[in-house]
Amino acid sequence: MSSIKDKMRPFYRTTEGGLFSDVTKADVGDVAEEMQRRGVALMSWADPFMPDPSIPKPVLDRAIELLQGGFPAHYTMPIGSMKLKKALAARLERKFGLKVDPARNILINPGSDIGLMLAMTPWIEPGDEVLVHDPSYASDFMNAELLGGVTVRVPTYREDGWHLRIEEYEKRLTPRTKMVLLNNPNNPTGTCYTKEELTELAAFIVKNDLICVCDQAFEDCLFPGAEMTYIASLPGMWERTVTVCSCSKGMGLSGFRVGWMIADDAVMDVFYGAAVNLQGATSTLAQEAIIPAVEDDSFIQDYIQVYDRRRRYAYELFNSCPGVSMDLPEAGFYAWIDVHELGTSAELTRLMAEEALVSLNDGSFYGSQGEGYLRVILACFKDDAVCFAALDRMAALFRRLAKEKGLFS
């Protein structure tokens, strides 16, 4: 008799979540709780100020008021609250210069992870190829494969600041190429793509009649000098782009589980039609409570000042360690650290958890270009001192390893 897994679609047969495998990832199973019990600093979840309380006051006040009124006991439509969509449309125009119709161009999701999967479903059929720049957020490689498609990795390089090389896309174009997945700003490299390079990428997409899904979960986390360009706003792109956003990163409200997708009416018609089946309704309480943060997001600038201090601290500290280096990220709230002289990403991730008591991410999870790198979330903890102490422990371990390898006397 065949096993229950043999009956599954091919990619699912090879997928493991962690119940039966040797899992050291902090985002699966009960590993995170066990690590916290051992005093390990969890700096592997891209979650501002985790684990400390950090709800902006207007959001907290609104949530309490809503709960007291009893309204959150009830559904919002699966396509999302019109009040929230109007607030998001106004913000899009104010902040990014994009004019959309809230009733026709925005869909609310329970977070952008489901939005990213939903964004691909109308197009990706078995065998279809999706070009994804590497390194990128790990889910961005897996979604196409879950649908039976093929993820084709397009390398980016540290020597370019991880910016895009269009010729790498051109080299990988085949008759099965259907989509380009863009993660802007990029997690884990912290690169924010320029208008010039996005214009080149857009021309490639239009010329080859492709679809674009743009993961913009970090669009609000820009350091001074970086500028957010919506690829959807470039010539020929609006009608072929689905943009996927969230309140998790910029607003630091990951636990509220609210994301949103932006697309042309013709595309949105399909998503609205399938929303109840594919995602269901988003939390009524969360949608209503985040409206004050959408209407006035000035608190994000305070968060960015915190991340700015921390990226500079990490930059000075790690670049002073022999065999270790990093660039100053343009966006996001993580450090992407080159450690290849000291060992593999997997070895160092394990050593950091065991000896420095810091849980961070193995760079190879973010693509083949990520081997030899570590990602550490700098946004964790309310108090800079807790974050800096964890980074100091990392640096002490880096120095010890460098000494053992004879990289300095």
Report the residue number, 177 or 248, with the smaller CB distance to ligand PLP.
Answer: 248
What is the C-alpha to C-alpha distance for residues 23 and 17, in angstroms, rounded to an integer?
Answer: 9
* Shortest distance, position 136 Cβ to ligand PLP, whole Å: 8
Which of 42, 46, 164, 211 binds ligand PLP (CB under 6 A)? It is 46
Stretch of 106-114, 146-154, 295-303, 309-317 lying at the interface with ligand PLP (CB under 6 A):
106-114
**Pattern of binders to ligand PLP over 9-38, x per CB under 6 A?**
------------------------------
Q: Is 231 in the site for ligand PLP (CB under 6 A)?
A: no
What is the C-alpha to C-alpha distance for residues 90 and 102, in angstroms, rounded to an integer?
Answer: 9
Report the residue number, 147 or 251, with the smaller CB distance to ligand PLP.
Answer: 251
Residues 210-229 that bind ligand PLP (CB under 6 A): 215, 217
Tally of CA atoms within 13 A in the half-sphere of 155 that contains its CB: 9
Size of the site for ligand PLP (CB under 6 A): 13
Q: In what order do the strands lie in the sheet with 361-362?
A: 325-326, 334-338, 373-377, 361-362
* Shortest distance, position 122 Cβ to ligand PLP, whole Å: 19
* Tokens at 288, concatenated: 């209503």
- Which residues fall within 8 angstroms of residue 45, CB to CB, at 6 or more apart? 26, 27, 377, 380
Q: Is 246 in the site for ligand PLP (CB under 6 A)?
A: yes
Report the residue number, 297 or 317, with the smaller CB distance to ligand PLP.
Answer: 297
What is the C-alpha to C-alpha distance for residues 146 and 10, in angstroms, rounded to an integer?
Answer: 9
Tell me if 362 sits within 8 A of 402, measured CB to CB.
no
H or E segment at 398?
helix 384-404
Report the residue number, 76 or 254, with the smaller CB distance to ligand PLP.
Answer: 254
Q: Is 259 in the site for ligand PLP (CB under 6 A)?
A: yes
Q: Is 279 in the site for ligand PLP (CB under 6 A)?
A: no
- Specify burial of residue 392 (Cβ count, 10 A radius: 0-12, 13-18, 19+): middle
Stretch of 109-117, 199-207, 320-328, 353-361 lying at the interface with ligand PLP (CB under 6 A):
109-117
Report the residue number, 164 or 342, with the smaller CB distance to ligand PLP.
Answer: 164
* Shortest distance, position 274 Cβ to ligand PLP, whole Å: 19
* Tokens at 340, concatenated: 């290849």
Q: Is 184 in the site for ligand PLP (CB under 6 A)?
A: no
* Tokens at 361, concatenated: 């991410």
Secondary structure (DSSP) of 53-117: ----HHHHHHHHHHHHHTGGGS---TT--HHHHHHHHHHHHHHH-----TTTSEEEESSHHHHHH
Produce one character per residue of 211-248: b if its CB has 16 or more CB atoms within 10 Å, e if not: bbbbbbbbbbbbbeebebbbbbbbeebbebbbbbbbbb
**Pattern of binders to ligand PLP over 123-162, x per CB under 6 A?**
--------------x-------------------------
- Helices 265-278 & 112-120, crossing angle to 10 degrees? 120
Produce one character per residue of 358-373: b if its CB has 16 or more CB atoms within 10 Å, e if not: bbbbbbbbbbebbbbb
Q: Is 112 in the site for ligand PLP (CB under 6 A)?
A: yes
Which of 151, 254, 279, 361 binds ligand PLP (CB under 6 A)? It is 254
* Shortest distance, position 111 Cβ to ligand PLP, whole Å: 3
Report the residue number, 351 or 380, with the smaller CB distance to ligand PLP.
Answer: 380
Token pair 């957020």 in the structure block, residue: 137
Which of 81, 177, 183, 189 binds ligand PLP (CB under 6 A)? It is 183
* Shortest distance, position 28 Cβ to ligand PLP, whole Å: 14
What is the C-alpha to C-alpha distance for residues 204 and 154, in angstroms, rounded to an integer?
Answer: 14
Stretch of 14-22, 105-113, 234-242, 373-381 lying at the interface with ligand PLP (CB under 6 A):
105-113
* Shortest distance, position 215 Cβ to ligand PLP, whole Å: 5
Report the residue number, 137 or 398, with the smaller CB distance to ligand PLP.
Answer: 137
Stretch of 9-17, 111-119, 334-342, 378-386 lying at the interface with ligand PLP (CB under 6 A):
111-119
Q: Is 111 in the site for ligand PLP (CB under 6 A)?
A: yes
Residue ranges in contact with ligand PLP by CB under 6 A: 46, 111-113, 137, 183, 187, 215, 217, 246, 248, 254, 259
